[in-house]
Structure 1
Amino acid sequence: MNLEKTGEVRFEIKKDESKGMRTDVVVYTNERMLEKIKTDRTLQQAVNATTLPGIVGKLLLMPDAHEGYGFPVGGVAAFDANNGIISPGLVGFDINCLVRDTKVYDENGTWRHISEFKGGETVATFDSARNRTINTRVLLSMSKMNDKKVLRIRTRLGKEINTTEDHPILTERGMVNAGLLKQGNTVVINGFDGLKYTRPLRAKIVSRDLLLEAIDSLGIGDAGNAKTQILNFLGKRGLEEVCSDDKKLPVLIKVLGFILGDGTIPRVERRFYTTLYGKEEDLLEIKRDLETLGIGSNIRHRSRHHTITTAYGKGEFDHEEYSLGVGSTAFCILLIALGAPFGNRSAKAYRVPEWIINSEDWQKRLFLAAYFGAELTKPLTHNGYNFGCPTFSINKLESLKDNAVAFLLDIKTMLASLGVETANPALVEGYHYTGVKSTTIGFRLAIESNTDNLIKFFGTVGYVYNKEKVRLSSLAALYLASVKIIREKRNDIRQKAVTMYAQGVNHKAIIAQLENDVASSGFIEHSIWCNRGKARVWAAQRFNEFIEKSEVNGSGFVYDEIESISEENYSDDVFDITVDDINHNFIANGIVVSNCGVRLIKTNLTEKDARPKLGTLLDALFKNIPSGVGSRLKIGLAEKDIERAAEEGVGYVLEKGYGVPEDMERVEENGMMKGADFSTVSKDARARGRDELGTLGAGNHFLEVQKVDDIIDEKTAKAYGLFKGQIVVMVHCGSRGFGHQICSDYLRSLVEYQKKKGIQLIDRELSYARIGDAEADSYLSSMKCAVNYAFANRQMITHAIRKSFEEVFGRKSDELGMDVLYDVAHNIAKLEEHVVEGKRVNVYVHRKGATRAFPKGRREVPREYRSIGQPVLIPGSMGTASYVLCGLEGSMAETFGTTCHGSGRVMSRTQALNDIPADRTFESLKSKGIEIRVRSRKLISEEAEWAYKNVDDVVGVVEKAGISSIVSRDVPIGVIKG
């Protein structure tokens, strides 16, 4: 990528139309920081964004720029207000992620690592309204270099997941961020583990010739052009040729398996039909699957009376029968070509088709699970603890008994290849019975009932097309896992008891040490004095008790306790996916998983006043302002309060008593962006925002007690009310989970918008809506809600800061001179008027990690600063200086009135955690006279100054570029981090 130096701190990438670029990229930086920028995707992301329609002027990168989601943090782009676009990715978005090798399950019961999923594919989702697993489409797959804590969460039943601390996980309380979970909390898990997806080698299974053979085998001639009609019917549906890697094959495999279990392909007069029998709810699932193939079907119901004669005598019974019928002869032909028998199965010789036996393991499993959904007994216990052998039988004419055994051996071989043990086929005494045509004989195959084998079977093979069996299979796998854990614990205790007794330890002392909830005193005494085999588990709860206590509303999912949570070192990329479903979740490793700115508050105190009480002050601030991932301020806000805060911003919380009217005049947009409509905000975002107003959050968000260390521009500093040695308080935080959820929601909806409009993106993370379209209006409205929420959040924190100062210094906040200097957002899209190429134009300026820096004279600048220029607040990294700047006229000509927003990361959080010992940071802070309060020691390393660019370099560049000028340099004396 060719970078041309066009000024002392200015570089350009010229427009290249062959790459689709519509404008140049301008980078403000120095030589040293430029080398770092070149090491990630910052420049490529900027080039990609220049391809977006309606872009006006040049695309800009501030000196603190670094790679972001879709668009660089520190990037600025403007789009025509009439013909341009609006894009969440250009405003600011962060993703909550899982590690690379997390298993995610798809619609076929297979799993792949989350890093392998792409948009348009299908994953399994837990439908909490209907309490079942459904299949949903992946709208987006996302990845980034990890910069957050990664937690390893392990449950009592052995499920385990590695996730960033802010990834939501489904619990009894709904979705909860991983960082808020504790040992003993419960999460929702599923007992089905499935099989790893492997890509089949392409091989032809059904061909035109095979179809013609099937047609001929049924005696269908050329009359009425029948053969051509059959081939055309299948051809229109992409089924005239079927290969092993076709996307439609999994449905065909399942339907074939179910037909061999409980279906038939009869001939009625001159027509051929396919009929499958089962419960109505299960047949509806098959019907939906057939519709994906373009095959229509109907479900019928009738009451039937049956009479059979067996070795035990004559039997009669009534049955409410549901059947699914497919009236397409062409579909019958396709099934026969795949290997289905025509006519009465008990009178036909058939085997499992050879192509199934030679297929991938997950394809074999689909066939078996469908067959078992029709034929295999459901999971049952004899005594509440021990499960019987799941079995199925096959009935054949006596003359076909060898074929019956051969078919069962095919099933046995397939199960063995999947690690499941079975008994040998056995003749079923009493299954001789005389039907309409002849005498039949029965053979049975049983799955071995030892615990490990049943866990393997229920957890990896199981059933499909039978809701009841699928549910019980998941529950049985989890119950057996719990029994196995108890048995292992009891065996371990038994061994310890025997060893201790042999060493001469008194039996009472042994009991005192070893007795617990799985090993009673009687069990321990029996272990010492009696003949000892493997421990039994009579102390465990029964299967029905397990279901009653743990199951999630009849879904087959259960609530499982978290056994342990540990922090992991992880320096690779992390991943997430967005699904097209209201439930917003997917199943990972068996577990169900789903605006920012700065304010500066002045005081009339000096360091001499504050230093003696600094520790007490920090303690008060730490107590009064909740911080950390998922922090909550429990003041009983209702949804109506959140609605008004989101629509009215600072004005509403002032009305509630959090601050003084003058505060609003010193906030960008007067603390409220007009046009915010809470009705455009999702239910999930509302829920996340309810308890987070007035909280600091985590990551790079902070509160610092600072002193003004140096005044560079005396005149402007005086206008801003700053003096050397003065104590000020800087707050850096945003709209918390509320804003993040809004971004997530609209990212999802805009993917659908791209498809509807036929828009092709160079990078799917740059999804957008055209100005004037309903989707753009809706996003803008929700974004304004997030901005107003962030303004209100910082206002409530300001109130808590004043309260803390009053507690410590014993004076009212107005006596302490605690006025707001300014509050400015740095993740925002705003409609502004600018001069571009000599013309005044209205544009939507997207600032992502960039700060508005308007010069004097602009009506948007607060009246008291309008003759000077807008204050610009630039936070440094932990332990380093922050700056107050002033907007200059040069910013209007060069950068749409924009400057930098902070230091800019150069090291991921994980790398910082590995490379920067916390003690080193503590020592550095101590040597500078800085006190700190932090909720997590590891955050000290993650946010250490060496993980960021040098803020002195960053502000030096924007001053040299004539974008903004330095007013004061402020250094921290006390720091509060989440």
Structure 2
Amino acid sequence: MNCLPGDTDVLLSHGRRRRIEGLWDRFEDESAVVATGDDAVASDIRLFTMSKPETVYEVETETGDTVEATADHPFKTADGMVELDDLEEGDDVYLHPFEGLQDETPPEFTLLDESDFEEENPQLVRALKDRDLLPLKSTDEAFNRLLKLVGYHTGDGSFSGNQSWFYGEPKDLERIQEDIAAIGFDPSRIYERERNHEIDGNSFERVEYSARSTAKSFRKLLVKLGAPEGRKVESGFTAPEYLDRLADWQKALYLSTFFGAEMSAPDTVSAKNFYAPSVSHNRLVAERDAGETFLRDLMTHLNDLGISTNALEEVERTETTVGETVRFRFGISTDPDNLIRFFTTVGYRYAREKQKEAIAATQYLKHKERVIDARARIAEEARALADGGVAPKEIKKRFDINDRFVERSLYGERDGRPRPPADFPDYDEYRDETIVQDDLSVTAEVVDIAERGEKPVYDIGVTHDAHNFVADGFVVSNCGVRMVKTNLTYEDVRGRERELVDALFDAVPTGLGGGGIVQADSDTMGDILEYGVEWAVENGYGIESDLDHCEDEGRRPDARPEFVSQKAKDRGRNQVGSLGSGNHFLEVQRVTDTYREEVADAFGLQEDQIVVLIHCGSRGLGHQTCTDYLRDIEQEHADLLESLPDTELAAAPAGSELAHEYYGAMCAAINFAWVNRQLIMHRTREVFGDVFDADPVEDLDMELLYDVAHNIAKRETHDVDGEDRELFVHRKGATRAFPAGHEEVPAAYRDVGQPVIIPGSMGAGSYVLRGGENSMDVSFGSTAHGAGRLMSRTAAKQEYWGGDVQDDLEEQNEIYVKAESGATIAEEAPGVYKDVDEVVRVSDALGIGDKVARTYPVCNIKG
């Protein structure tokens, strides 16, 4: 459960970062940034752990971002959280490039007290005191929010009477509302109105959005902290003097919101190079000195943060209705490292779209600089080889780069650093293919994973349901099930549980990474993806009746192996017949109860009988296939994704070529998953035969009850408003539950309904149902596919210790569990899951899945 070395930076609230080892004495008072998909929010840290040295691995991306973590540390990917040991070069992980500034405790001093409000109504003072805003100190949490509000209001706010107005885009105004509310005031709703504007003789209309606070005490507070009153162009305000005394990260709060309101967004001056993001500021000539001082103050504060600026310019003077004005301007120096530092440490708060553009620009610049650095190293090595007497012709052969580049390096035809290669994408091309999430995260390709030795490791837990946090810029926290019957009873197994669990653990490959029962070559992979369980039976890994008792007879005829990428095939090649990790398991169970005797008889189930439940899916092949097509969908149908309420609903439009290809690839992955479970069942039969010295089929009657797929989409015909329609039915967290009489239910069960298997936790048991008579009308022939989690894997590892869970299950429940690691057992502790009895009760009550039998674990192996 301890994953990160001590020098890993964790992103905290208010744009601070701190080494994880430095949180140990203060974690309960801290909040870490959680990337929720919709936003980046601060969440209280509720747990901190540290442990002895463990082996860590460094993950490096194409943008040069790196982080070290243990093999079981989960990284956020487009397919959810994936443990490091299951990542490969070429996979995409989510980064959160905004890194913030080093955390430091601000010098404590009083900014405002009652003496600053002597001339105000006592009721106003009381309002501030009631909200703990008087006295106001530099170390107060409320002050950090006020810094942002003052900075933004200085740029894009106004006062009208006692009202404090803020102008911006609705999403940004929502953040402002949250901060106003957090310090104790009631913000208004967001208003909108049409406004007419004229610039250089051109008239146009735009919608203006705004929010306000009507509290006089709030208005006075902003003014006392430096927000200018009256028309800003006529004012003599400068930057607040107290900024000089603050911690760097606090200065950035004020600067970033002012820049969010007033600074230009990142933009390119040429195909691959950026303009200097700039701030323009107007004052009446009478207030010229104050205006110049204000901008020079901002420049000085940026310089103090290590960010270089261009020279301050007096751009123009203009006659206006209030007099002659002067316009000043300065910009951020366009050196790539300088722009990256600005975008990732200050940026544009309360300006989501600008900040998202800054994130995209950051990743582009990082990638570009990484490529240029590589070319510079080649140039230097080429010159060194030439100095050592190696002929130019030989030098050219040593590098995978065009000959002209080597020649220019050798003969001094280049001034300064190399340019990126001609095929390096322009920023517009890059931007079209790059999606920055609303939480400011973006994917990057993993280019290297390397072992870095043993180091003490640490972990934290947050209260937010997303259960992730940002570490060194990384966001870090298809299956089915089949049941095999036997003629053994619980008494036959009692006393041999440990022997059985050890034998199964030795025989069935488990855990992350490679290792399967079959090592498949290219032809074999093609046959598995196309023919499914038919291939397994033909090759001696099953019996004919297995086909009769499997959903779709173990083969999706729509499978198109050619639409599965070579990378996905390579990942699955050595995983055919393996459990994987997480909630995948092989469990020996006993039937404890039967409910509908005639159906139980048809299924061949009776009380005290031993059965085996196998839950696993398509392993790395399915994960990679999903990742491949999700990337294509994001590129080809970005407009559709933007219209969806949640990016997790990403899909290709039905009827499109991409949808056709993805469906064919998914069906192939389903065939792979069926074969995976088939081979595990085959090996399980062999183990039972060895342990009980009997033929598993002839003597032990080890026949497949049913195999039902989870988490798939299928083309089916359903009655919709009295009309039969062909639909794509997506069963995510669900499973098929067709009723008696349905033509797609295997003949052996058609009279009673399709078997449905609902796994519970390894301490609570599982259920066998049959498709209910209401399922087609209520749920498109579906019911739940399991108990469902109550907490994430990360939270589970924080709550439970694997060894304790294992001991408790054995001592209190007589359940024997074996896994690759204690962390896996902790992730799957009984308390992590919902009450399977209640899940099944609801299904039964709705008539979509009727109870047939209940089973209880005897022994269990996990990856």
TM-score past 0.5 threshold: yes
8 Å Cα contact 2:106/2:138 also seen in 1: yes
**Are the structure 2 counterparts of residues 689 and 460 from structure 1 closer, same or farther at C-alpha, using a change threshold of 3 Å?**
farther
Aligned to 1:525: 407
Aligned to 1:487: 372
Cα distance in 2, alignment partners of residues 689 and 257 from structure 1:
55
**Are the structure 2 counterparts of residues 346 and 648 from structure 1 closer, same or farther at C-alpha, using a change threshold of 3 Å?**
farther
> Within 5 A, what are the aligned runs for 1:246-265?
246-265=140-159
8 Å Cα contact 2:106/2:139 also seen in 1: yes
Counterpart of 2:333 in 1: which secondary structure?
Answer: coil
Cα distance in 2, alignment partners of residues 827 and 603 from structure 1:
19
Identify which of 426, 431, 438 aligns with 1:542: 426
Identity %: 27
Aligned to 2:807: 850
> Within 5 A, what are the aligned runs for 1:37-52?
none
Counterpart of 2:358 in 1: which secondary structure?
Answer: helix
Q: Which moved more, 1:490-499 or 1:458-467?
A: 490-499
8 Å Cα contact 2:40/2:440 also seen in 1: no
Q: Does 1:468 align with 2:342?
A: no
Q: Does 1:199 align with 2:105?
A: yes
Cα distance in 2, alignment partners of residues 631 and 304 from structure 1:
65
Q: Does 1:109 align with 2:10?
A: no
Residues 191-211 of structure 1: CA distance to partner in whole angstroms, max 9, x if unpaired?
Answer: 211111112232111111113
Q: Does 1:125 align with 2:9?
A: no
User: What displacement does 1:561 show?
Assistant: 1.7
Q: Which has the higher contact order (CA 8 A, sep 6+)?
A: 1
Aligned to 2:280: 393
In structure 1, what residue type is equivalent to 2:191? R
In structure 1, what residue type is equivalent to 2:463? V
Aligned to 1:800: 683
Question: Structure 1 regions of 5+ residues with no counterpart?
Answer: 1-94, 216-226, 605-616, 673-687, 694-792, 820-824, 831-845, 855-859, 862-869, 879-903, 909-975
Aligned to 2:489: none
User: What displacement does 1:357 show?
Assistant: 2.1
> Within 5 A, what are the aligned runs for 1:853-864?
none
> Within 5 A, what are the aligned runs for 1:932-943?
none
**Are the structure 2 counterparts of residues 653 and 191 from structure 1 closer, same or farther at C-alpha, using a change threshold of 3 Å?**
farther
Residues 562-590 of structure 1: CA distance to partner in whole angstroms, max 9, x if unpaired?
Answer: 22223343353521313322x33222111
**Are the structure 2 counterparts of residues 551 and 314 from structure 1 closer, same or farther at C-alpha, using a change threshold of 3 Å?**
closer
Aligned to 1:425: 312
> Within 5 A, what are the aligned runs for 1:218-297?
227-266=121-160, 271-297=161-187
In structure 2, what residue type is equivalent to 1:209? S
**Are the structure 2 counterparts of residues 127 and 526 from structure 1 closer, same or farther at C-alpha, using a change threshold of 3 Å?**
same
8 Å Cα contact 2:763/2:809 also seen in 1: no
**Are the structure 2 counterparts of residues 643 and 99 from structure 1 closer, same or farther at C-alpha, using a change threshold of 3 Å?**
closer
**Are the structure 2 counterparts of residues 818 and 280 from structure 1 closer, same or farther at C-alpha, using a change threshold of 3 Å?**
closer
Identify which of 52, 56, 61 aligns with 1:150: 56
Identify which of 273, 291, 302 aligns with 2:193: 302
8 Å Cα contact 2:154/2:227 also seen in 1: yes
Question: Structure 2 regions of 5+ residues with no counterpart?
Answer: 478-492, 518-527, 534-549, 555-581, 620-675, 703-759, 766-802, 824-860
User: What displacement does 1:435 show?
Assistant: 2.7
Cα distance in 1, alignment partners of residues 108 and 266 from structure 2:
36
**Are the structure 2 counterparts of residues 623 and 197 from structure 1 closer, same or farther at C-alpha, using a change threshold of 3 Å?**
same
Q: Does 1:592 align with 2:479?
A: no
Aligned to 1:407: 294
Aligned to 1:170: 76
Identify which of 222, 225, 242 aligns with 1:335: 222
> Within 5 A, what are the aligned runs for 1:288-367?
288-298=178-188, 299-307=190-198, 316-367=203-254
> Within 5 A, what are the aligned runs for 1:429-508?
429=316, 432-508=317-393
User: What displacement does 1:388 show?
Assistant: 0.9
Which structure has the bigger radius of gyration?
1
> Within 5 A, what are the aligned runs for 1:379-390?
379-390=266-277
User: What displacement does 1:149 show?
Assistant: 4.1
User: What displacement does 1:522 show?
Assistant: 2.8
In structure 2, what residue type is equivalent to 1:202? E
What TM-score, normalized to structure 2?
0.60
In structure 1, what residue type is equivalent to 2:184? G
**Are the structure 2 counterparts of residues 629 and 98 from structure 1 closer, same or farther at C-alpha, using a change threshold of 3 Å?**
farther
Residues 368-397 of structure 1: CA distance to partner in whole angstroms, max 9, x if unpaired?
Answer: 100100011111111121111111111111
**Are the structure 2 counterparts of residues 96 and 379 from structure 1 closer, same or farther at C-alpha, using a change threshold of 3 Å?**
same
Aligned to 2:826: none
Counterpart of 1:850 in 2: which secondary structure?
Answer: helix
Cα distance in 1, alignment partners of residues 41 and 174 from structure 2:
15
Cα distance in 2, alignment partners of residues 643 and 164 from structure 1:
20
**Are the structure 2 counterparts of residues 422 and 645 from structure 1 closer, same or farther at C-alpha, using a change threshold of 3 Å?**
closer
**Are the structure 2 counterparts of residues 631 and 341 from structure 1 closer, same or farther at C-alpha, using a change threshold of 3 Å?**
farther
User: What displacement does 1:491 show?
Assistant: 1.3
In structure 1, what residue type is equivalent to 2:410? I
Q: Which moved more, 1:360-369 or 1:418-427?
A: 418-427
Cα distance in 1, alignment partners of residues 349 and 128 from structure 2:
25
**Are the structure 2 counterparts of residues 801 and 243 from structure 1 closer, same or farther at C-alpha, using a change threshold of 3 Å?**
same
Cα distance in 1, alignment partners of residues 33 and 413 from structure 2:
49
8 Å Cα contact 1:98/1:576 also seen in 2: no
8 Å Cα contact 1:600/1:873 also seen in 2: no
Cα distance in 1, alignment partners of residues 432 and 498 from structure 2:
59
In structure 2, what residue type is equivalent to 1:379? P
8 Å Cα contact 1:102/1:114 also seen in 2: yes
8 Å Cα contact 1:257/1:368 also seen in 2: yes
Counterpart of 1:537 in 2: which secondary structure?
Answer: coil
In structure 2, what residue type is equivalent to 1:231? V
Q: Does 1:373 align with 2:282?
A: no
Counterpart of 1:544 in 2: which secondary structure?
Answer: helix
Residues 55-89 of structure 1: CA distance to partner in whole angstroms, max 9, x if unpaired?
Answer: xxxxxxxxxxxxxxxxxxxxxxxxxxxxxxxxxxx
User: What displacement does 1:154 show?
Assistant: 2.1
**Are the structure 2 counterparts of residues 554 and 291 from structure 1 closer, same or farther at C-alpha, using a change threshold of 3 Å?**
closer
Cα distance in 2, alignment partners of residues 417 and 663 from structure 1:
75
Cα distance in 2, alignment partners of residues 598 and 435 from structure 1:
94
User: What displacement does 1:338 show?
Assistant: 1.0
Residues 381-431 of structure 1: CA distance to partner in whole angstroms, max 9, x if unpaired?
Answer: 1112111111111111101111111111111110011000112211013xx
Aligned to 1:812: 695
Aligned to 2:460: 576
**Are the structure 2 counterparts of residues 851 and 557 from structure 1 closer, same or farther at C-alpha, using a change threshold of 3 Å?**
closer
In structure 2, what residue type is equivalent to 1:414? H
**Are the structure 2 counterparts of residues 510 and 240 from structure 1 closer, same or farther at C-alpha, using a change threshold of 3 Å?**
same
In structure 2, what residue type is equivalent to 1:291? A
Residues 472-500 of structure 1: CA distance to partner in whole angstroms, max 9, x if unpaired?
Answer: 11111121111111111111112223333
8 Å Cα contact 1:259/1:371 also seen in 2: yes
In structure 1, what residue type is equivalent to 2:56? V
8 Å Cα contact 2:4/2:457 also seen in 1: no
> Within 5 A, what are the aligned runs for 1:599-638?
600=496, 624-628=508-512
8 Å Cα contact 1:124/1:134 also seen in 2: yes
**Are the structure 2 counterparts of residues 285 and 646 from structure 1 closer, same or farther at C-alpha, using a change threshold of 3 Å?**
farther
User: What displacement does 1:275 show?
Assistant: 1.8
Q: Which moved more, 1:256-265 or 1:647-656?
A: 647-656
